[in-house]
Structure formats: C-alpha cells, structure tokens
Amino acid sequence: PSCILLPPLLGFSLFFLAADALKCQHGTLKTIQDISKLPLQWTAGQKICNVGEGCQDTLMLIENGEQVNLVLTKGCTTAKDQEAKVTEHRTGPGLSVTSYTRVCRKKDFCNDLSTTAPLWAPPPVTGA
C-alpha cells in the first residue's frame, strides 16, 4: 500500500519545486544606434529559472558623439537581490557610459526593463 502513494507524492513534490521556480524575461541585445533613435524599446523572450534563481536585467549604454552602443542581458541568475542601480561615468565631452543592474525575486517577470528611457536623457541644448 505504501508503494501506491509514492508516485502521487513524487508528482506532488515536483509540482511544488516547479512552482518555486521563477519565470524571467530572457534575451540579449547588442546594437549600435544613432543617438537620435533614443530612447529604444525592446521585447524579450521568457525562461523558467532553476529553483532559487532570481531574474536579472543588465544594460550598458556607451555614448560616443552621435553613436550609442547598447548591450542588454536579461535572464536568470544566482546573484543576490539588488534594487535597480544606475551608475553614470563621464570621461569627457561626448563620451559617457551608463549602466543599469537589477536582480529580483519578488514575482515572475520582475526583470521588466523594456526601454532605455530611465537611463538616458537627451543631451542639453546649447545656445547659439
């Protein structure tokens, strides 16, 4: 009789393991765009993470004159949770690097960054 209970219990425990795994947005994007195209938007794929993993967003914008190099990664990670953090580096006129990182576990698809808008502001207009 105890052998009859094992398959239902095994299925029950597998259900709970799957229920604890987060679903995250997933994908990578590398592109060089004219600065006039900003802000950019994108749509990511989806992935079921391993149990215990969180969702991450990492975005880097490298602005050099009229060009912007964008590198984006989204997916699962074992890193600890981190609130959204924007770091700006300025190395000279016309050259800047801005990065965004976030790790979350609060809900499925919590790595929901879908635009460069929170990281990018148009350059100031100079008077003529």
- Percent of the chain exceeding pLDDT 70 equals 78
Over the stretch 41-95, which tens digit does the pLDDT of each residue have? 999 999 999 999 999 999 999 999 899 999 999 999 999 999 999 998 877 777 8
Asked if residue 42 lies in contact with residue 72, where contact means CB atoms within 8 angstroms, the answer is yes
Q: Give the SS3 label for residue 9.
A: helix
CA angle, residues 54, 119, 30, in degrees to nearest 5:
70
Hey, what domains does the chain have and what are their CATH numbers? 22-120 (2.10.60.10)
Backbone phi and psi for residue 16, each to the nearest 5 degrees, phi listed first: -70, -35
Residue 123, SS3 per DSSP? coil
What pLDDT sits at residue 118?
Answer: 82
